[in-house]
Amino acid sequence: MVTLTHPRAHAPAARFAPVRHLGPNWYATVMGTAIIAGAGAGLPFRVPGLTMVWALSLTMLTVLVAARAAHWRHHRDQARAHLMDPGVAPFYGCMSMAFLAVGIGTLTVGKDAIGEGAAVPLAWVLYAIGTATGLAVAVAIPYLMVVRHEVAPGAASPVWLLPVVAPMVSATLGALLVPHLPAGQGREAMLLASYAMFGMSLLAVMVLLPLVFARLVHQGPLPLALTPALFLVLGPLGQSTTAVSKLADVASGAIGAPYANGLNVFAVVYGVPVMGFALMWLALAAAMVVRAARSGMPFAMTWWAFTFPVGTCVTGAEGLAHRTGLAAFTWLACGLYALLAAAWLVAGVHTVRGLLSGGLLAAPR
């Protein structure tokens, strides 16, 4: 007996075939675009077009969420395979940070376009989604790495940092939302919850970063296409410096004077050494990328690692410039922003070309 299948039964799968290999790493494009707007807003000069860039990041987030929803609905086998792949699963941290990065841009840039009355509720929604998913991913992905993934000794990768950095971005957006809460318990709870997320992310990074460096020392350079991922280490460094600065800005209106004063001091005492380490790692990562480029490093989605992590160093330097009044930090922020803008343009052009050709959405080789 022959069973006939109606042609329409295959229509949905065929219609959504282009998103079959759309992984969570694509959220990095949203992060890299949103940080252009968020970091540009803190520079000492006006950067034209920031509102348009923020609107672009919000549009990209909306389209990508819809595409990823279609991916999970129509290609659930591939979605599960991504979760079980130790090289892909950590990129679920990008999903959370995409929501949060757009939320930060909403309060720093977007409010000029849509008004504070619309920007604040939108930022709260983005914060709620980004924080909830970020905390879940920060636990779920390490759990899968321990229980389900097969990870070879010495296989640590900078992408392992992605799931645990998201709460640090939540801490930054949380700081921006503190003034929009009623004075008293609400503000203090938000402030301390943000510091708690800062702490959980920082300590997790301190556990993972030595594994990444040990892998480099014992196993040698990363594969060419993965080399840009070395820039991901800058993310927790710059974001933590940004977070403590933004939290210190709102501490006086949320907690008692002795603690508020101490948090202002902590922002500088912590931020300056960490920024120094970030610059050292930037030089090391850049040297490794130059070496890989000379060996024929191809374009891959890992090139987006040149954007958001560098952008966090821009915002970190901006915070230190504001707190110390030191012109050197202002010049540092401007120089890093120029690097960020160039990296965003290069990665963006290559990504658009890859989308038009279909190469970036093809099955991985």
How high is the pLDDT of residue 3?
Answer: 46
Judged against a pLDDT cut of 90, whether residue 105 lies above it is answered with: yes
pLDDT 10s digits, 275-329: 999 999 999 999 999 999 999 999 999 999 999 999 999 999 999 999 999 999 9
Return mean pLDDT, the chain.
93
Confidence class for position 15, pLDDT limits 50, 70, 90: confident
Q: Is 46 left (phi over 0), alpha (psi -120 to 50) or beta?
A: beta
Dihedral of alpha carbons 49, 52, 57, 60, sign: negative
Residues 341 and 34: their CA atoms lie apart, in Å, by 12
pTM listed for this prediction: 0.94
The CA distance from 204 to 300, in Å, is 27
- Cα separation, 308 vs 25, in Å, equals 13
Distances (CA, A) of 146 to 86, 93, 149, 190: 10, 17, 6, 32
